Chains A and B, each alone.
Chain A
Amino acid sequence: MAKLEIINLGVSVETDQGTKQILRGVDLTINSGEIHAIMGPNGSGKSTLAYSIAGHPKYSITQGQILLDGEDVLEMSVDERAKAGLFLAMQYPVEIPGVSVSNFLRTAKTAIDGEAPALRTWIKDVKDAMESLRMDPAFSERNVNEGFSGGEKKRHEILQMELLKPKFAVLDETDSGLDVDALRVVSEGVNRIHQDNNMGVLLITHYTRILNYIKPDFVHVFVDGKIAEEGGPELAAKLEAEGYDKYQKAH
């Protein structure tokens, strides 16, 4: 049983116009095996929260804590966080020319586990994972994300999650840009890892469609840098019908 706690988190970013406060006291606790969905308007700070958990250097922490099983995550470097079991499926995965997917996956796996995976089982694991995500085996010889379509990039993120087996995964709009088949395939992947490894999930999305496949235990409404309301799956349906107006007016 693992626990990821975000306590009163404040985050700012440096802009040309000066420091801009984006997160304003976020409180959120995720236990192993739980699925939390975050929904909120554009620009409300969802990706900022995701990046802050992963440790992107662009964001400065102004207040609060992030704890993983009581350990101070904010003290860890980006790679240490990944090694501790945190994973971020990015909204916009970057291209890395010159590094093949297979080399990248093996290097990441070795880094996370602290030892190189046994070659034979590893090759099979990669092949099986790619197959279940309906990825052409040719992708392993291509450079990381280079020339991948939007949907292919998202599948590649989930492929990494499947192979690296994190304790907690933050999925930042993994469903955006996926066609109906890909949405199902990717959702199945998330559910599989969630079940097999008792992974905790923080799912950032704009659409209730993905929630038909990945059933959240909790739904959080994210507005203006903090959580405005929390509830069960029924809250997602309500948001879809009513939008975010009432939260923004209240502000």
Chain B
Amino acid sequence: MSQHGLSEHSHGSFVPLQIRSERPKSTSVSDFAAIDSRQDLWRYLDAGQLKGLDQDVLAEYEAQVSFSSIPGVETYWLESSNEIVGSVGTPEDRVAAAAYTNASKTLVVRVTGELSEPFRIQINGDSLAPSALHVFIEAKPHSKSTVVLNYQGQGVLGENVEISVSDEASLNLVTVQNWSADSVHVSAHFAKLGRNANLKHTVAAFGGSLLRVTPITTFAAPGSEVEMNGVYFANSNQHIEMRPFVDHASPNCKSRVTYKGALSGEKAHTVWIGDVLIRVAAEGTDTYELNRNLLLTDGARADSVPNLEIETGEIVGAGHASASGRFDDEQLFYLQARGIDELSARQLVVMGFLLELLQKTDLPDIVESLSEVLQAKLGQK
């Protein structure tokens, strides 16, 4: 967008990939080949970075999970053999399949009414043993809620999160990954929206050596809306990978996907692959996806690939944009020449860039605590 080494790519046409819907699904680890960077899904990673999450056997994670109790939410652990488990979505890769198979219990969060306060789930790990977790969030018809999944401590966690947003329901789901520096978290989200449903889905990824989130939203009925937002910050040797996918399978739905990332330090690496599929049935679709990355130092790398696949011409709008730019010496000089010291200048730029999306969660306490995390990350390399 500007002269400062920023490469911009913004238009309404599309870059076809393999048919997104045809990606194989299975709950069995053995149906997926051993992970290898020659596979498209894992091309930016080294299997070793998974720290064992691609193994056949993983530990249970139940003990590390705690949650509040508030009116309008039923929460309990369910045997994963129950038929609701897997009813929203099933794994599309080996790590998700391993997590699926090994989580013998599923945490069910069922929202039945309009919540007066956010429902919070705290995941506080204390070991690097590769483990599995399965969460099933169900927003009943006409319910209205905010659900927060807050991950911290130490962990090597493979996870599936199913999200069912029923007819006329509205869910504001926020996940915060703020693990210790040696942690690994690979999480597959499957959201399915009923009729006139509304999902705001926010991923905040800050702490951990490898953070990978693959959130899928499927419009199963007409008239619904999703806003998928993501904010991430990678320091030296951190790998953060976000692969949102919106499946427009029904007519008259609207999606907005916005991910923003900052990178600072040697070998800080972020990957964003944003897929949108507009199926034949999805007339009246309105979609836009955007990814922007800000490189604060040399030696960092941001990969960004938007994919839009359109099977019907009867749509309202479809577009995407992706840009990665650097915070360069000229910008720094400009701010300093107005009296702003170097650290404050970096904070100003990064905070302005990232906080805007977090503010959309309407969770001031999260915005505040993540501002502090960001300040600290800015001070690091």
A→B interface (CB under 8 Å): 54-57, 77-79, 81-83, 87-88, 90, 93-100, 103-104, 107-108, 111-112, 143-144, 146-147, 160, 164
Contact = CB atoms under 8 A, between A and B. Distances in A.
B223 interface: no
B334 A94 contact: yes
B345 to A, nearest CB: 8
Contact of A108 (B4, B338, B352): B338
Contacts of B353: 97-99
B36 interface: no
B334 A96 contact: yes
A78 B4 contact: no
A98 B2 CA distance: 12
B316 interface: no
A112 B331 CA distance: 18
Given A82-B336, A94-B334, A111 B341 contact: yes
B322 to A, nearest CB: 14
B344 A111 contact: yes
Contact of B348 (A87, A90, A103, A164): A103
Most chain B CB atoms below 10 A, which of A97, A143, A146:
A97
A55 B334 CA distance: 11
Interface string B330-345: 1101111111111010
B1 interface: yes
Instruction: Determine which residue in A56, A93, A96 has the highest number of CB atoms from chain B within 10 A of its CB, and name it.
Output: A96
B3 interface: yes
Contacts of B3: 94-95
Interface of B: 1-4, 6, 292, 294, 325, 329-331, 333-342, 344, 348-350, 352-353
B335 A96 contact: yes
A4 to B, nearest CB: 16
A239 B348 CA distance: 44
A103 B348 CA distance: 8
Contacts of A57: 329, 333
B187 to A, nearest CB: 27
A97 B325 contact: yes
Contact of A107 (B1, B325, B334, B344): B344
Contacts of A81: 337
Contacts of A94: 2-4, 330-331, 333-334
* Closest 9 pairs between A and B when the two form their complex, measured CB to CB: A98-B353, A78-B336, A111-B339, A82-B339, A108-B338, A95-B2, A112-B339, A98-B352, A99-B352
Contacts of A90: 334, 337
18 contacts: A79-B340, A82-B338, A90-B334, A90-B337, A94-B331, A94-B334, A95-B1, A95-B2, A95-B3, A96-B331, A97-B6, A97-B292, A97-B349, A97-B353, A98-B350, A98-B352, A99-B353, A107-B344
B305 to A, nearest CB: 21
A99 B2 CA distance: 14
Contacts of A96: 331, 334-335, 349
Nearest to B355: A98
Contacts of A103: 348, 352
B44 to A, nearest CB: 25
B296 to A, nearest CB: 12
A111 to B, nearest CB: 4
Given A56-B333, A77-B336, A95-B4, 12 more contacts: A55-B336, A78-B336, A79-B341, A82-B336, A83-B339, A93-B334, A95-B3, A98-B352, A104-B338, A111-B338, A111-B339, A112-B339
